Structure 1
Amino acid sequence: MKFGYSDTCLDHETGVRHPESPDRLRAIRRGLADAHSVEYVEADPSERERIRAAHDGEYIDSIETFCDSGGGNWDADTVVSEGTWEAALASAGLAEWAAEAALSGSDGRQTPFSIGRPPGHHAEEDDAMGFCFFNNVAIAAQSVIDSGEADRVAIFDWDVHHGNGTQDIFYDQGNVFYASIHEDGLYPGTGDVEETGTGAGEGTTMNLPFAPGTTTAAYLAALSEVIGPAVEAFDPDLFLISAGFDPHEHDPISRMRVSTEGFGCLAAAVREIADDADAALGFVLEGGYGLDTLSDSVRKVHEVFDGYQPIEPDEPVSEGARDVIDAVKTEEFPGL
């Protein structure tokens, strides 16, 4: 894979006890050190006008001012340092690069994966939260639409937390489809099955809140039975993955049970969906807070695009997950 990376993203300092630390990127780089077909690309930082595609101008100014003043706690979870502004611009720029590279034809072993930080999917139009300042994947999606490089974009978020910011930014738009699998009841508490969009965006949001302990099998069933058919019906030009690795069974801040091999299976599944929809495919890093599980899982995704065939789990879909999938299929998206 081609990995978008910038040392500038290490300058966002969160403190020694914060789970979203620069060590996350260092761990990924170490995990890929001896992998085949790895290429790193440093993209230009995002421009303010591109960020305004997803965020309120006064909010953008307030983030810059807060960083210039030395930072502090934006909220209880979201820490700002003097280097956060430049890191956030770099992270958004890397996500834009991933979208543009995918649309320019980078696929197969050249499939783009942006490994910027801070992450983005919790960032709302006018507020930072959940470790996120600028919504990287939303900026990338809206930017390629605004530039005419894509008419329609689909986003699948497999982070353990619901991407409330991404959902809200596109909730009333008809040209971006957003789907999320996340742990039910976990921060930020959004992402109910009934949340499907409004106005022009009605039917362009799909949520599958799974119970703690849900395994890889349920994720794969959701992809094959509802998310894949919905993406194919939406007919996007670009399919972006908000790739959070905190659903891992050994991640320190979640209770889901996706294995390292399972992330390989997810990568293979989204690649198949993109192929079926004839859509370009790109990845944007979100969460993942166990350094070993994060690096191992990113490497597994890379290996899939380097020719590895992941082994699907021989396990049943849990009854609770089956109920959620069936509710999406029969109540919210009966046409699938």
Structure 2
Amino acid sequence: MQFGYSETCLAHDPGSRHPESPDRLRAIRERLKKKHGVEYVEAEPCDIDRMAAVHEREYIESVEAFCADGGGNWDPDTTAVEETWDAVCYSSGLACWAAEAALEGEAGRKTPFSIGRPPGHHAVYDDAMGFCFVNNAAVAAQYALDSEDYDVERVAIVDWDVHHGNGTQDIFYDRDDVFFVSIHEKGLYPGTGAIDETGEGDGSGTTMNIPMPAGTDDGEYLAAVEGPITTALTDYDPDLLLISAGFDAHRHDPISRIRLSTEAYALMTDRFRTLADETDAALAFILEGGYGLDVLADSVAIVHETFDGREPIEPDADCGENVESTLEDVLEAHGLDTDLDG
């Protein structure tokens, strides 16, 4: 894979006790040293105009000023230093690079994966929260839609971070040119992402939330991907598929109670690669969360290995009743008909 990366993203340092630390990127880079075919690309930073395509301009300018004044605690979870603004610009720029590279035809072993930070999926239209200042995936999606270089009419964003991507949902909730899917742990921060949150106005039906119960495992996540998600996105037929790739649903991540193994990320990667191929969509990955350094690095590495030719190991387990009921409710909320056992 090609990994979008900038040393500038290390300068955003929320403090030694904060889980969203620069060590996340260092751990990924160290793990990828052992892998064949890894390439790094440093993209241009985003400017305010591009960010303001999905965020309130006054809010973006206030983040820039906040950092210029030395930063501090924006809220109890979201902390900045002076260097954070540059990291924010590069993190969004790397996400745009990933979308652009995918649309330029980079695929297979050249599939782009942006590993910028801070993450973005909790940043709403006019506010920062949950470690996030600018919504990188949303900026990249809008960039693809606005660019005159590509014929992009529809973008799908699949967020497999364990937390609901409330910011991405907020930005695109009333639009039909972006289909947002979030599979996340039910009841976890920020408490949004119920099944009946399906969009409004022109965007009615283009938001899909799959809140999974604590303890959900590989086979159950795969059932969600192969069932409601694949069915909905095949019908939607996106030109670009962005994966908001958080890795905190791993069973050894300190933040969540979902029980995914590292192999689950290979399995989901394989399924979304197939979906992109079948819908003729460009495919790119954008880093979100993941706070257990070893399992974060292992999980990013296995995404890379999947594109480098490794075959994922299929799970044995079937869906439990709670998960099967959740998936049936999702299908009903979206008027979809599929065989979960098929």
TM-score range, shorter chain: over 0.9
Deviation at 1:12, TM superposition (A): 0.3
The CA distance in 2 between the partners of 1:290 and 1:270, in whole Å, is 24
Match of 1:302 among 301, 304, 314: 304
Deviation at 1:335, TM superposition (A): 5.2
Deviation track 1:78-130 (CA, whole Å, cap 9, x = no partner) reads: 00111110000000000000000000000000000000000000000100000
The CA distance in 1 between the partners of 2:332 and 2:17, in whole Å, is 44
Q: Which runs of 4+ in 1 moved over 6 A?
A: none
Deviation track 1:166-214 (CA, whole Å, cap 9, x = no partner) reads: 0010000010000010000000000000000001000100000001110
Point out where structure 1 has 5 or more consecutive residues left out of the alignment. Answer: none
Match of 1:62 in 2: 62
Q: CA RMSD in A?
A: 0.8
CA contact (8 A) 1:71 1:80 kept: yes
SS in 1 for 2:158: strand
The CA distance in 2 between the partners of 1:196 and 1:318, in whole Å, is 24
SS in 2 for 1:168: helix
The CA distance in 2 between the partners of 1:223 and 1:313, in whole Å, is 14
Match of 2:278 in 1: 276
Deviation track 1:44-68 (CA, whole Å, cap 9, x = no partner) reads: 0012111011110100111011001
SS in 2 for 1:20: coil
The CA distance in 1 between the partners of 2:221 and 2:278, in whole Å, is 18
| Aligned partner letter, 1:207 | N
CA contact (8 A) 1:119 1:287 kept: yes
Match of 1:217 in 2: 219
The CA distance in 1 between the partners of 2:217 and 2:278, in whole Å, is 25
Match of 1:238 in 2: 240
SS in 2 for 1:196: coil
Match of 2:291 in 1: 289
Q: State the identity %.
A: 61
Match of 2:195 among 146, 170, 193: 193
Deviation track 1:244-284 (CA, whole Å, cap 9, x = no partner) reads: 00000000011111100111111101111111111010000
Match of 2:173 among 171, 174, 180: 171
In the alignment, does 2:98 pair up with 1:98? yes
SS in 2 for 1:246: coil
SS in 1 for 2:156: strand
CA contact (8 A) 1:13 1:80 kept: yes
SS in 1 for 2:324: helix
SS in 2 for 1:287: coil
The CA distance in 2 between the partners of 1:330 and 1:60, in whole Å, is 38
The CA distance in 1 between the partners of 2:323 and 2:48, in whole Å, is 41
TM-score normalised to the size of structure 1? 0.99
The CA distance in 1 between the partners of 2:317 and 2:170, in whole Å, is 35
Deviation at 1:232, TM superposition (A): 1.1
TM alignment of 1:45-56, pairs within 5 A: 45-56=45-56
Deviation at 1:334, TM superposition (A): 2.9
In the alignment, does 2:105 pair up with 1:118? no
Aligned length: 336
In the alignment, does 2:5 pair up with 1:2? no
The CA distance in 2 between the partners of 1:334 and 1:9, in whole Å, is 41
The CA distance in 1 between the partners of 2:299 and 2:318, in whole Å, is 22
| Aligned partner letter, 1:290 | G
CA contact (8 A) 1:193 1:332 kept: no
The CA distance in 2 between the partners of 1:276 and 1:319, in whole Å, is 30
Point out where structure 2 has 5 or more consecutive residues left out of the alignment. Answer: none
The CA distance in 2 between the partners of 1:228 and 1:274, in whole Å, is 10
